[in-house]
Amino acid sequence: MNIGVPKEIKSAENRVAATPAGVKAFIDHGHRVFVEKGAGIGSGFRDEEYVKAGARILENPEDIWGEADMIIKVKEPIGPEFDRMRPGQILFTYLHLAADRELTQKLLECKIVGVAYETVQLDDGSLPLLSPMSEVAGRLSIQMGAFSLEAKNGGMGILLSGVSGVRPARVTIIGGGVAGLSAATVAVGMGAQVSILDNNPLRLRYLEDITDSRLITIMSNPANIEEECVNSHLVICSVLIPGAKAPKLITRDIVRRMMPGAAIVDISIDQGGCCETSRPTTHEDPTFIEEGVVHYCVANMPGAVPRTSTIALTNVTLAYGLAIADKGLEKAMADDPALRKGLNIMNGEVCHPAVADTFGMTCASVDF
Ligand SMILES: NC(=O)c1ccc[n+]([C@@H]2O[C@H](COP(=O)([O-])OP(=O)(O)OC[C@H]3O[C@@H](n4cnc5c(N)ncnc54)[C@H](O)[C@@H]3O)[C@@H](O)[C@H]2O)c1
């Protein structure tokens, strides 16, 4: 199969869909890979590294899209990319179609085969191509929280770890899933005093077990959320209710009663945020102060560390990409129900139930 790796053109997107090692895996399986000139540069991968891995570098994005049977990307197509798509061509990337009717319509019109990373789903309900980015965001949240607590950034000037003779900071994490656990790991490692709230008792037990009780687990309910927030220097929001907007668990009144110069990192902002005072920010201007509390609400946090994010993404997408390339789309989907759930668009029809529901469209049944 011919695989195309275009350079991402979305603003401030420095990730790329494949590392040179990922390209080499496709080449070793007998495929041809075309990488757009400079596609990896934002993640620190030079064209020469892709050439060494066996790729051909092409100057024009039109040629990449023109040559490829399957395009692998990071973000959904935008602007000029719509005119480059061909009927029957496979597009394997994050799509988030339910959030974008116009994009869905364009993909339907182009009759492209849209396979979305975020809806590939294992039997246990987990989303293997989404979780690495939650892991990145969770770990980064503590780094960004520490930054927000610095005096020059409007914070109260407290060091998360404390020093000898001085208490460490109190960190509260609401939502103990992939992002929450990743945040907890870093916060505990830095020496902060960490509490984590979740509304799933089994998850709380698991967190208690695997962290060797080095953090405090607390049932998530309005009273506990309030108590933890008003007594914490840093609050991380990492709740997810799959397919729904994030619940507003932290009210403006709670924020008002938090310590002046405390900080909130609302990771869930991509789902609307769990805090009433949150609004999306960008890497260029990541924080704002509301009710005396510093808020960090960047909706694409992994973009701050494109190299780590690119490698983490390739680690998980590669096996699925190789399956499609090796077996062809139909057999790969027939063999793997998880990958089958990634199919969102085919033959000009929506074939993912949640996307179809969102837009009141009929969900086409595709038999593999
Ligand atoms: N901002 C970014 O750049 C970025 C990047 C990656 C992920 N995210 C977001 O981070 C969030 C978390 O993602 P995840 O992969 O960790 O999800 P996850 O499903 O692994 O974890 C979510 C957790 O929230 C818990 N939860 C649900 N309702 C709750 C409540 N009322 N109180 C407390 N806990 C509750 C669930 O039990 C679960 O443990 C999502 O909104 C995701 O979209 C944001």
CATH number for position 352: 3.40.50.720
Residues 40 and 54 placed together within one structural domain of the fold: yes
Inside any domain, residue 64: yes
Inside any domain, residue 129: no
Inside any domain, residue 310: yes
Domain end: 304, 321, 346, which one?
304
Amino acid 243: pLDDT: 63
Inside any domain, residue 368: no
Tokens of 109: 């019109």
Domain end: 286, 304, 322, which one?
304
pTM of the model: 0.89
- Which residues are near ligand 1 (CB < 6 Å)? 131, 133-134, 137, 174-180, 197-200, 203, 220, 238-241, 246-247, 249, 267-271, 299-302
| Residue from 134, 140, 205, 313 whose mutation best tests the ligand 1 pocket (most atoms within 8 A of CB) | 134
Residues 282 and 245 placed together within one structural domain of the fold: yes
Residues 26 and 39 placed together within one structural domain of the fold: yes
53 C-alpha to ligand 1 centroid (Å): 36
Amino acid 106: pLDDT: 96
Residues 99 and 178 placed together within one structural domain of the fold: no
Residues 162 and 283 placed together within one structural domain of the fold: yes
174 C-alpha to ligand 1 centroid (Å): 9
Amino acid 364: pLDDT: 95
Give me the catalytic one of 47, 96, 100, 283. Answer: 96
Angle between helices 20-28 and 306-327 (to 10 degrees): 10
Tokens of 214: 């080095």
Amino acid 96: pLDDT: 86
Would you call 63 a catalytic residue per the annotation?
Answer: no
CB atoms within 10 A of CB 199: 16
Give me the catalytic one of 69, 198, 266, 270. Answer: 270
Our count of domains for the chain comes to: 2
| Residue from 238, 268, 295, 300 whose mutation best tests the ligand 1 pocket (most atoms within 8 A of CB) | 238
Amino acid 244: pLDDT: 67
Residues 181 and 102 placed together within one structural domain of the fold: no
Residues 300 and 311 placed together within one structural domain of the fold: no
Which residue from 179, 136, 137, 128 is spatially nearest to 342, judged by alpha carbons? 128
Residues 294 and 349 placed together within one structural domain of the fold: no
- Ligand 1 atom nearest the C-alpha of 246 is 41
| Residue from 143, 206, 240 whose mutation best tests the ligand 1 pocket (most atoms within 8 A of CB) | 240
Would you call 31 a catalytic residue per the annotation?
Answer: no
- Ligand 1 atom nearest the C-alpha of 203 is 39
Residues 106 and 160 placed together within one structural domain of the fold: no
**pLDDT mean values, one per 10 residues, the chain (368 residues):** 96 93 98 98 98 98 98 95 97 90 95 95 93 96 98 98 97 97 97 98 95 94 98 97 83 98 96 94 94 96 94 97 98 97 95 90 89
Query: Please, what is the end-to-end C-alpha distance for the chain in angstroms?
Result: 20
Residues 287 and 141 placed together within one structural domain of the fold: yes
Domain end: 285, 304, 323, which one?
304
Inside any domain, residue 367: no
- Ligand 1 atom nearest the C-alpha of 249 is 31
Inside any domain, residue 365: no
- What single-letter amino acid sits at 176? G
Residues 138 and 273 placed together within one structural domain of the fold: yes
DSSP 347: T
Inside any domain, residue 246: yes
Identify the domain containing residue 270 by its residue range: 134-304
Inside any domain, residue 128: no
Asked if 294 and 148 count as a contact pair (C-beta separation under 8 A), the reply is yes
35 C-alpha to ligand 1 centroid (Å): 34
Residues 158 and 52 placed together within one structural domain of the fold: no
Which residue from 237, 175, 233, 168 is spatially nearest to 207, judged by alpha carbons? 175
